[in-house]
Amino acid sequence: MELGFFSVHANVASRWDRLLSGYPVRQLQAAQLSEGLPGGLLLLHLDSVAHEQRRALLQRLESTQQLFVIMADRPQNDEGIRLLAQGAKGYASTFITGSLMQQLLETVWRGDIWASPSVMQQLLKRLLNGHPFSLLSVQSEKVGLAADLSEREQQVLDILLTGASNKQIARELQITERTVKAHISAILRKTGAGDRVSLILMAQERQTIH
């Protein structure tokens, strides 16, 4: 897959060029944004696009089914959720570390969405708004049975579907956050879900079907 990025700021472009040195990557110019990278992934520096031009650009990228990730100098939860709703497949800090950049690329390339834990938590809470815990428990059980989860994995899933963070799950079950992460990785693998949001949507779908 072709990889490209757009930023008019020399320090950002230089940093990204260094972080992406292991990939065949090219820097797009402003005039090339309308064409995008057909079949490729575009990293878009939000602060390099004028406010009055952002909506039209995002609509154009979405209409051409361009795979793109928004990078912001000062990430904000509400902005991240809004941009993901507008077609972005990821939302991250402009100054993301090299290891996180690698995770971002791998996540988006496999078809999942990348965002910071705080953005994902806000998105989860919005998805869960209006769903009583009793209904969530039923949905969780259906997902767990279908995926053949262990008893402990089912307990983690029950709490996860309420929108709880890893720290809250760890506190509730009196286990370490590292153990929680291991259980969540197993749950995602067994269910085939790419992330927490996918798990919520999977549960909601099972509630609708059943």
Which structural domain, as residue segments, surrounds residue 105? 3-115
Looking at the structure, tell me whether residues 18 and 106 fall in a common domain. Answer: yes
Q: Find the CATH number of the domain harbouring 18.
A: 3.40.50.2300
More confident residue, 191 or 126: 191
Looking at the structure, tell me whether residues 104 and 13 fall in a common domain. Answer: yes
Which residues lie below 8 Å from residue 160, measured CB to CB, with a gap of 6+? Answer: 169, 184, 187, 196, 199
Looking at the structure, tell me whether residues 43 and 15 fall in a common domain. Answer: yes
More confident residue, 134 or 38: 38
* CA distance linking residue 4 with residue 17, whole number of Å: 10
Query: 130 pLDDT exceeds 70?
Result: no
Say what the pTM is: 0.66
Query: 1 pLDDT exceeds 80?
Result: no
Can you give the pLDDT at residue 16? 95
Residue 205 placed within a domain = yes
Looking at the structure, tell me whether residues 110 and 130 fall in a common domain. Answer: no
Order the strands of the 3-6 sheet from edge to edge. 25-27, 3-6, 41-45, 67-72, 90-93
Which residues lie below 8 Å from residue 23, measured CB to CB, with a gap of 6+? Answer: 3, 105
Residue 120 placed within a domain = no
Looking at the structure, tell me whether residues 107 and 134 fall in a common domain. Answer: no
pLDDT tens-digit series, residues 55-88 = 889 888 888 889 999 999 999 988 998 898 888 9
Residue 86 placed within a domain = yes
Residue 186 placed within a domain = yes
Average confidence score pLDDT of the chain: 84
As for how many domains the chain has, the answer is 2
Q: Find the CATH number of the domain harbouring 149.
A: 1.10.10.10
Mark out the alpha helices in 21-165 (DSSP H runs). 51-63, 77-85, 98-109, 117-128, 133-147, 151-160
Looking at the structure, tell me whether residues 199 and 135 fall in a common domain. Answer: yes
Looking at the structure, tell me whether residues 183 and 204 fall in a common domain. Answer: yes
Query: 107 pLDDT exceeds 50?
Result: yes
Band the pLDDT of 208: cuts 50, 70, 90. Answer: very low
Residue 29 placed within a domain = yes
Mean predicted confidence (pLDDT) in 193-197? 75
